[in-house]
Structure 1
Amino acid sequence: MKVGLLTREFPPDVYGGAGVHVEFLARELRALADVSVHCWASQKATEPQPGVQRHAAAEALAGANEALRSLSVDLAMAAAVADRDLVHSHTWYANMAGHIAKLLYGIPHVMTAHSLEPLRPWKAEQLGGGYTLSSWAERTAIEAADAVIAVSNGMRADILSCYPGLEPQRVHVVHNGIDTALYRPDPDKAALAKHGVNPERPYVLFVGRITRQKGVPHLLRAARALDPATQLVLCAGAPDTPAIDQEFRELVEELRQSRDAVLWIPEMLPRPEVIQLLSHAAVFACPSVYEPLGIVNLEAMACGAPVVASAVGGIPEVVQDWVTGLLVPYDEKDPAAFEAALAEALNGVIADRNAATRMGEAGRERAVREFGWDAIARRTVAVYEEILGK
């Protein structure tokens, strides 16, 4: 079976959960199929990678809207997969490549929905008119795909709600995974010292992009009510827009006026450093307002950190309330209530170290037992085989 994986992100350019998903899925799939990866061009990838082909946006579109540039990459990807038996696309940035390949070569198109454009209206702030184009690309591809993989049951429900013309039998659930040999508790604290984190004081850790989706402004407002002894560590970068970047900076500065130990790490850290920060966090915070699954919660759990997360999307399928962490209901109509409840949950976990330890251990056990990438790859191949066998 010859499979073409189509994606924007691939190492060394991974900035979100979709990129993590493709990185590890590709690794495991190679033991089960002939896999070629087609991704965006990279300035960081200076050496060729076997089985990986990078595609650049058309030079004539330099300076054009990002959505137009994305579609030009899709054309290049589609041109490169004529020898594949099946293509599997990830995110709207690559969905049209899969759709065009299906039309051009008559091969099946499988797409994994990591998020849905209709549920991310704030993207219009980032993409302008390109959001209308990205929404069209997603709708066109998803409604014609031979199979759609949802990363959670909650995501499957969202897909069928947003795209009612899609037959339910075409939508399969295959959860995101985690490499629990890579993500595991690390006793080393060198990363804490490097980034100014006091190992003698508990800290709340956030890891994620500065986007509306990740809800980090809610966390910054909730942090006003954190126990004064608690540090707040924000591994937060890649802001979607200048406006949300400015909002984030202002909230950080405002918080620093009322409490110490508000640490912002704006760059994307090497994975070993992130693992160390996760391993020693008193609690990991995930205040997302929309999250199909949330790989970052799995990463925290695999490193033994208790998780306090918003009860949205697929998060409750990963974080078990009062077992591996605490879930906080989110109501977009009452953000103040959410922020107050978030602060209460974070303070509660920090105050009860025995419960926090039990949650961290249970989270690690759950990640190992239910979310290994080898099992995720086998479930994905089962979808391929079902489609190819029709």
Structure 2
Amino acid sequence: MRIGIVCYPSHGGSGVVATELGKQLARRGHKVHFISYNLPFRLDKFYDNIYYHEVDTPTYPLFKYPPYSLALTNKIAELIRYEKLDVIHAHYAIPHSLCAIIARDIAKAPELRLVTTLHGTDITLVGNDPSYRELTKYSIEETDGVTAVSKALWKETIDIFDIKKRIEVIYNFVDVKEYTRQSVPEVDIASGKKQIKNIIHISNFRKVKNIPNVIKIFHLISQEVDARLLLVGGGPEECVAKRMVQQLQLEDKVLFLGKQDNIVPLLSISDLLLLPSKKESFGLVCIEAMACKVPVIASNTGGLPEVVEDGVTGFLADPDDYQKMAELSLRLLQNSGLHEEFAERGRRRVVEKFNAEKIVDQYEKYYRSL
């Protein structure tokens, strides 16, 4: 098949999943065309059967803001005509699905099939905004096929928009050959101290990620065990995190590592992942961590209970109950046997339920069914 993938090129979960899906499809012989304003960061080298098409957004004095959606629509229409695409897979309803719908009409290609994958923010934040609500509903209903990354997001989409169209739940995934615990010396990455416990948090540092509670949880952990917090990513809440670290006098125990293209080495030296998000439609970083044998302490919200088995591969708690999360973290950190059991079961769960081979099979089957 000739497949166009429209996505954001950034470090967010939707961009990562879209890029990894394209890479997996290309390995199976499909021709994959990525369409975005920048090269997706996971396309860090040449891949057979993968093509990248940059969307140039012109700036005119007439426009207060650069009209990216118009330029994207035009680029998709061009590719439909010249590359004879069979499928356009849009990750995010707004603006990607809407642009693809208009582009198909412009290119007069009714045989082209459009697939929309809902990742969460496009429904719970953008789509639920009155400014975009009708456009989001239209984009979902006018797409040939719609998938959601969790049952929780599927239900929320139906409840918010009163959608009658069938929505298929296809979970996110990781390549379990790539995401596996590496042999990294158990040495503190800053000071060289051995036996320190590395706690990791990876996100885009938005308010929904509940960064203050990450710091509070770690503060309580550090009072009981020799530990260090690895903060990976960056965003608007980074200043809040740095201020809290100073107030709690944790400067020598917290490392701000910024955005990382390859997180496997960092996960491989980690003992625990903290994800106390107020909302997560799936929580891709959880399966990345579990694949690397890192148990997870996360919120019992959204799609996280579908990913992390409470009391089996990690622990779940109310996102505001940082004391409970700290207690659960210490239960694992202070019991090596229990920690090892959780680590092994987490890896096994990802291999069985969230591995790339299985999920990409589902996407291929879904494309063909349309």
Matched to 2:297, the amino acid is V
Matched to 2:287, the amino acid is L
CA deviation string 1:241-296 (max 9, x = no partner): 4xx343232123223x2574122212x2241xx21221232211111211111111
Structure 1 residue 296 corresponds to structure 2 residue 293: no
What does residue range 207-218 of structure 1 map to in structure 2 within 5 Å?
A: 207-218=202-213
Structure 1 gaps of 5+ residues are 125-130
The aligned residue for residue 260 of structure 2 is 269
Structure 1 residue 109 corresponds to structure 2 residue 114: yes
Question: Which whole-Å CA distance do the structure 1 matches of 2:156 and 2:306 have between them?
Answer: 14
- RMSD of equivalent CA atoms: 2.9
Matched to 1:347, the amino acid is L
Structure 1 residue 238 corresponds to structure 2 residue 234: yes
CA deviation string 1:184-207 (max 9, x = no partner): 1112238x6555574421121111
1:290 is paired with a residue whose SS is coil
How far 1:163 moved relative to its partner?
A: 1.5
The aligned residue for residue 306 of structure 1 is 295
Matched to 2:330, the amino acid is N
Question: Which whole-Å CA distance do the structure 2 matches of 1:6 and 1:18 have between them?
Answer: 11
CA deviation string 1:5-31 (max 9, x = no partner): 11122xxxx402112211221122221
Matched to 1:224, the amino acid is H
How far 1:57 moved relative to its partner?
A: 4.0
1:222 is aligned, of 210, 217, 226, to 217
Matched to 2:156, the amino acid is D
The aligned residue for residue 366 of structure 1 is 349
Matched to 2:241, the amino acid is F
The aligned residue for residue 323 of structure 2 is 340
What does residue range 179-258 of structure 1 map to in structure 2 within 5 Å?
A: 179-189=175-185, 194-196=189-191, 198-228=193-223, 229-239=225-235, 241=236, 244-255=237-248, 257=249
How far 1:316 moved relative to its partner?
A: 1.1
How far 1:46 moved relative to its partner?
A: 9.4
By percentage of residues, which structure has more helix? 1
Question: Which whole-Å CA distance do the structure 2 matches of 1:64 and 1:245 have between them?
Answer: 29
**Change in 2 beyond 3 A, CA 1:247/1:137:** farther
1:150 is aligned, of 143, 148, 151, to 148
**Change in 2 beyond 3 A, CA 1:16/1:189:** farther
Question: Which whole-Å CA distance do the structure 2 matches of 1:150 and 1:179 have between them?
Answer: 20
**Change in 2 beyond 3 A, CA 1:132/1:359:** same
How far 1:342 moved relative to its partner?
A: 1.7
Matched to 1:35, the amino acid is V
The aligned residue for residue 8 of structure 2 is 8
2:316 is paired with a residue whose SS is strand
CA deviation string 1:296-350 (max 9, x = no partner): 10110010111111111111111111111111133xxxx3xx2222222222221
How far 1:118 moved relative to its partner?
A: 4.8
Matched to 1:80, the amino acid is L
Question: Which whole-Å CA distance do the structure 2 matches of 1:17 and 1:77 have between them?
Answer: 23
Q: Under a length normalisation based on structure 1, what TM-score does the superposition of the two structures give?
A: 0.82
**Change in 2 beyond 3 A, CA 1:60/1:43:** farther
Matched to 1:79, the amino acid is E
Structure 1 residue 286 corresponds to structure 2 residue 278: no
Question: Which whole-Å CA distance do the structure 2 matches of 1:357 and 1:299 have between them?
Answer: 17
Q: Is the 8 Å Cα contact of residues 308 and 345 (structure 1) preserved in structure 2?
A: yes
1:120 is paired with a residue whose SS is helix
Question: Which whole-Å CA distance do the structure 2 matches of 1:145 and 1:217 have between them?
Answer: 39
Question: Which whole-Å CA distance do the structure 1 matches of 2:334 and 2:137 have between them?
Answer: 46
